[in-house]
Structure 1
Amino acid sequence: MKVLGLGTAAMDIVLQCESLPREDGFAFVHYESLFPGGSCANVLVALARMGVDTSLVAKIGDDKYGEAFREDIVRSGVCARYLFTRPGGITLHTFVTLAPNGARAIFCHLGDSLLDLAEDEVVPEMLQGVKVFYTDMFPGRPALKLARLSRELGVRVFFNLECAPSFMQLCRVTMAEIEEMISLCDLLCMSREGLFELTGVEDPQVAGQTLYQRYRPTEGIVSTCGTQGAIWWLGDKTSIFAPAFNIQAIDTTGAGDAFIAGLIYAYFCQEMGRQRALEFANACGAIKCTQLGARFKASLEEVNSFLTRNNQ
């Protein structure tokens, strides 16, 4: 199966601290490391590790971060044919402050390349042989173009609304565009923050049902709830829940991306049942929390071994 992803491509500067600084405070940095990241790229790299044919559509700068990102994405087995470069551009990069307990704070330098990807740079041939189109809508209009084409061609659309709509609008993605993407997608995944902002309801269970009734995506809505687990809403009063695994987290960066990769692999590639797919996705997210950096670094055998050890 082939998966095409359009979305974030970034490099992460991880600062390992004794603790996160308080307001007007400071903290000592014990280690500073550079890791490849970007939510969409993280998902595709994880899928590539699982043996899935993946391609990334994104734009980076020709700076040191862009060069490092391109080298890593190719080394990771993701097709970079549609990874465009903006001459003189600045690649999206983040500064992640990380405490020993896994708590983090992220500062994002958006750069000028990621959102520079234009509609006319995405073309139908990108979807040739593709079974699943995955996007986080960074940027919005090219993602919508590929989503519309996907619907015409029978390609499944997975939309990850990883950021709240208010943040998306700061990145030039309008609420109308978000709602169109939701209407085009087969499966919608989002955070509790996004659920609350779209519904005004704090209870995730009620918020999920409310959102499902409003949009009714074909394959439902999935929400990750951190240490509580994940929920999959399938109908007006139908949902599936999978609890989170009890692990010692060292870095939660990219856990949601590993979860999504696990869900795409289990549900769309392996056609597992929804309950089993959620459990597999939770395992991928949990394993990632035990690894430093945003990228998932486990094999399928390690995921299955983790599930066996945890009696699932």
Structure 2
Amino acid sequence: MITVFGSANMDLVAYVPRAPHLGETVSGTEFRTVPGGKGANQAIAAARAGAEVSFLGAVGSDAFGPALRAALDDAGVNTEGLRTVDGPSGIAHIVVEEGGGNSIIVVPGANGTVTGPSERDLELIAGSDALLLQLELPMDAVVAAAVASPAPVILTPAPVAELPDELLAAMTLLVCNEHEAAAITGLGAPDRALEALLERVPELVVTLGSKGALYGSRDGSRLWAPAVPAKAVDTTAAGDTFVGALAVARAEGHGAEYFLRFASTAAALSVQRPGASTSMPYRRDIDRALEDQPLANP
């Protein structure tokens, strides 16, 4: 089982030929309201990739709260640990350009009320094969969950922030993109950032977009995995799809070569469809796409 302790947001998505500059108004081509949030996205991605998943977090008492809960329920995610609090749910304003690039503004809402895992949350975490964390909840809550977890901890450091030593010490695997790795280390070259971060965490994946992904561990393992070619329509939640799928393959006992390819394939499938959680592939889709991608060490 995989447990996700994280955010649930309603994504308010506007599609435009290009994003506006400061003070500029542009005409959009389409608008969608899609359940999202980095935590909920990773939970749905992992569930669709074949895992039993529990989600821990909070939604508001507004109209978005039931819709966010329903999206997780419909994906087969256990929402026993999803609390409803007075006030608005988290929202994300997303602008998607032609070609799939996006910019995002997140307003925490109910996510900002989460102070840490409850006793029942800790029971679910203790029975898990992995705990997935992100940084759309308050940092103190993220640290509390990581430190209390007996399960392997996988962190996505987004939105990027300074990572407390206590959090890094509780990490099993850090998954970040090249921009986050550069921001955390101050090193622009992904390979140098990887080496610097491996002084602080046992395992690390740095995603490089169309250039693939780097993996490293303190035992000396180093691996580059090529990206899976895809014509991008919308890259929203591609990173969350990658992490959710990676966690599933890793929990199943696969090695780095396989879990990177599995995750990259899931992400490539997701960018070919619009939306966040609505774009995420099911296990059968990932397995079918993997059939033409033989691996030396599954």
Q: Distance in 2 between matches of 1:185 and 1:142?
A: 15
Query: 1:1-80 maps to which residues of 2 (within 5 A)?
Result: 2-80=1-79
Runs (5+) with no aligned partner, structure 2: none
* Percent identity for Structure 1 against Structure 2: 24
1:198 aligned onto 2:184: yes
1:253 aligned onto 2:236: yes
1:118 aligned onto 2:115: yes
More helix by share: 1
Q: Which residue of 2 aligns with 1:169?
A: none
Select 1:184's aligned residue among 150, 170, 192.
Answer: 170
Q: 1:228 to 1:118 in 2, by over 3 A?
A: same
Q: Distance in 1 between matches of 2:25 and 2:260?
A: 39
2:264 partner letter: N
1:233 aligned onto 2:216: yes
Q: 1:156 to 1:237 in 2, by over 3 A?
A: closer
* CA displacement, residues 169-197 of structure 1 (integer Å, 9 cap, x when unaligned): xxxxxx43xx2111111111112222112
Q: Distance in 1 between matches of 2:23 and 2:141?
A: 40
| Secondary structure of 1:33's aligned partner | strand
- Of 140-149 and 239-248, deviating more is 140-149
- Size of the aligned set, in residue pairs, is 292
Q: Distance in 2 between matches of 1:248 and 1:260?
A: 20
Q: Which residue of 1 aligns with 2:155?
A: 159
| 2:117–2:144 contact (8 Å) kept in structure 1 | no
| 2:155–2:171 contact (8 Å) kept in structure 1 | yes
Per-residue deviation, 1:237: 5.8
Select 1:95's aligned residue among 93, 105, 109.
Answer: 93
Q: Distance in 2 between matches of 1:192 and 1:122?
A: 36
TM-score (norm 2): 0.91
| Secondary structure of 2:205's aligned partner | strand
Select 2:262's aligned residue among 273, 280, 283.
Answer: 280
Q: Distance in 2 between matches of 1:78 and 1:144?
A: 23
| 1:259–1:285 contact (8 Å) kept in structure 2 | yes
Q: Which residue of 1 aligns with 2:282?
A: 299
Runs (5+) with no aligned partner, structure 1: 167-174
TM-score (norm 1): 0.87
Q: Which residue of 2 aligns with 1:107?
A: 105
Q: Distance in 2 between matches of 1:96 and 1:158?
A: 25
1:85 aligned onto 2:84: yes
Q: Distance in 2 between matches of 1:194 and 1:301?
A: 31
